[in-house]
Amino acid sequence: MSDLKIDFTWTLFLDRDGVINQRNFDGYISTIEDFKFLPNAIEGLKLLSKQFSRIIVVTNQQGVGKGIMSEETLNDIHQFMMDTLKEEDVDIDRVYFASNLRNAKKDRRKPNEAMALEAQRDFPEIDFKRSIMVGDTSSDLKFGMNLGMKTVLVLSKEKVDLTPDLKVKHLKELANEIIK
């Protein structure tokens, strides 16, 4: 990644669960109390925020569509995440989420491109060829690949059938790869 010459014109797209916070493989992060930052996530984001002009979170959250949590609760979780990161001098420009169920008629879920296109409408300077998508699932990687982004896989117990541009254990490792 260090050979990409990443400068402040680049955008970092991040999945949430399994990248920023601990993922619940058996359910959903449905309360603020459930939201736990992954080890090295905050430290990694502090370093990455100095490298990228924009940091955008794109997350599938069908727990809302299933009625497990309300959209208001999801927004509260995201506000908690952003406030905690802000205290560490990390600005998340925006969080986009897909609350619909899988295969809904208007499906915003990754790997569909809707959240990225919405981010580009909100921030017209975003160039997908100068963007990196970081995720822990095949749908995250496919999302990035569909848009021509570089892709980074955060390793977990999730089975992934696509080959990313880079594999890392956590966001701090990604930051170190970009900075070197």
pLDDT at residue 2, as a whole number:
67
Kindly tell me if the per-residue pLDDT of 102 is higher than 90: no
Full domain range(s) for residue 57: 2-179
Q: Domain of 142: which CATH number?
A: 3.40.50.1000
131-143: pLDDT as tens digits: 999 999 999 999 9
CB 169 within 8 A of CB 177: no
Residue 151 has pLDDT above 80, yes or no: yes
For residue 7 the two structure tokens come to: 């400068």
User: Average pLDDT over the chain, rounded to whole?
Assistant: 95
Residues 76-82 have a mean pLDDT of 98
Omega before 111 within 30 of 0, i.e. cis? yes
User: Nearest-5° angle of CA 118, CA 74, CA 65?
Assistant: 80
pLDDT digit string, tens, across residues 12-35: 999 999 999 999 999 999 999 999
Number of domains in the chain: 1
Residues 6+ apart with CB under 8 A from 88: 42, 45, 46
- The secondary structure element, H or E, covering residue 114 is helix 114-122
User: Which positions are annotated as active-site residues?
Assistant: 15, 17
Residue 159 sits at the vertex; the CA angle it makes with 156 and 162, to the nearest 5 degrees, is 105
- CA 3 to chain CA mean position, Å: 22
pTM for the whole structure: 0.96
pLDDT of 104 higher than 80: no
